[in-house]
Structure 1
Amino acid sequence: MRMRPTVAVTFLTATLSASVLPATAHAADPAAADSTTFSHVVVNGGKDIVLGPTTRKTVTITWTAQDPEGITASWAYLWHGPNTDDADGILPQYPPTGTCVVSAADPTTSACKVSFTVDAVRDVDHNALAGAWKVLAGAQDTSDDWTETDVAGTADIKRSAKVTVNASPEPVKKGRTIMVTGKLTRANWESGSYTGYQGRPVQLQFRKKGSSVYTALKTVTSGSGGSLKTTTKARTDGYFRFVFTGTDTTGPATAAGDFVDVR
């Protein structure tokens, strides 16, 4: 937790009204800094932020700011890197004004929210940005002292993935071998395209015709260029699909089921 002059953060303030932060800066008060707390920090509704090469997505951060003197304004944004001074990514790049609502039951507590657009083309220009990001939260109290917590919460920003499937021959005689092929790819933010994702476990699943439930048959590992290839026996009419559960840097993907007629 740290405290700085108010004037330094007017560009990313989430205000209680349409007004902006006062221009007058006050000396840091360690006691006031320690009294401000942040809790219930939630990014994107608690879900991962999964981005394709050209994805544009609205992301919301909500949090609670509390100070014995009451909160005049509060702000929050995402950052990536070893620390805030050496961050290699900040979202949003130009933090917008958000809103805070004072609790009717407790005037020292405010519920705050800020929304912004994440544009993969503009905001994530290298793949190393995939993974865990941190939330910086700050607040100004009614004495015009303000506090920031560099890590008030976390969020995962991931590269989106795709997986395809093709089962053949179609139709096939019962007991014969079915060849199931496909490809696992993921967003390459640097090239602006999807590229093969090699060496990842992908599950082959089957759903019997007339059923709504898929069952796991086996797990295969993606090869060169993300290629997938395996075999299974033809037993009954149904759908085959590949399912990738994702990683710390890449979102999950499920192929649409490919139907095979067994005769």
Structure 2
Amino acid sequence: MWLAFNSIIVSLTVIVSTVSFCYYLCNHGESFPEGMNVNEASAIRETNEKIDRLLKPGSVAVVGASNTEGKVGHIIFRNLLKHPARLYPVNPKEKEVFGFPAYPTICDLPEKADVAVICLDAGKTVQVAEECAGLHIENIIIVAGGFGETGEEGRELERRLKALPGQYGCRVLGPNSLGVFFPENGFDTIFVEHGDQALASGGGIAFITQSGSVGVESLGLASNTGFGMRAFIGLGNKADLNELDFLRYFGADDKTTCVALYVE
């Protein structure tokens, strides 16, 4: 465990200068670096607005929500019970999940969800992500692995995901994302146990990581010490949203005092 913590500290130290520079550029609200054209500034502003709605959704659909303990869809939906958003479990095999009526498909929801969290295998995930994009669901979180890291078939699936933002204007976090954790409102899509201490204590640290294992260690440390976080972002394979998008967002966030990254 100690070696893992040392690894985190060393990795974060290496990137401090990069983070500080990006934080300086972005820590001016709606101000943008000199020389940036109107289209670039508009794109950054639009991405920041969508990330804000990703972290503060009014409604969340969990595709693959389950009553079976230990399943990813069970853990994520249970976590979201702490969040005030309207929750929609999607699973054709369930009548209800945690007392919420379940819907057979994402197309059957009574409203368009602000965020869709997809907890299915890679092949089914892409199909559902395409359905979500077609319904103009703005933010999609994908936790499944089995994409670009696994071979040509997985790379083709990931290419289909990468095409969605350009075609439909949605934003995709993942695939292979550990999830999102935003203590301010209890939005938590992380599918590993990480205790309540990190949730109970707000903090100013926004931690953005591409590595699931490093993410798990950092969450464990947060829970054991109670130092709190402003946010936790699991980037995964970065088919769409990446560390720069979140640096810009948290760099302009008044409640963020430190941005830490672990990227590969």
TM-score category of the 2 structures, normalised to the smaller one: under 0.3
**Structure with max Cα Rg:** 1
Structure with bigger helix share is: 2
TM-score between the two structures when normalised by the length of structure 2: 0.19
TM (norm. structure 1) is 0.19
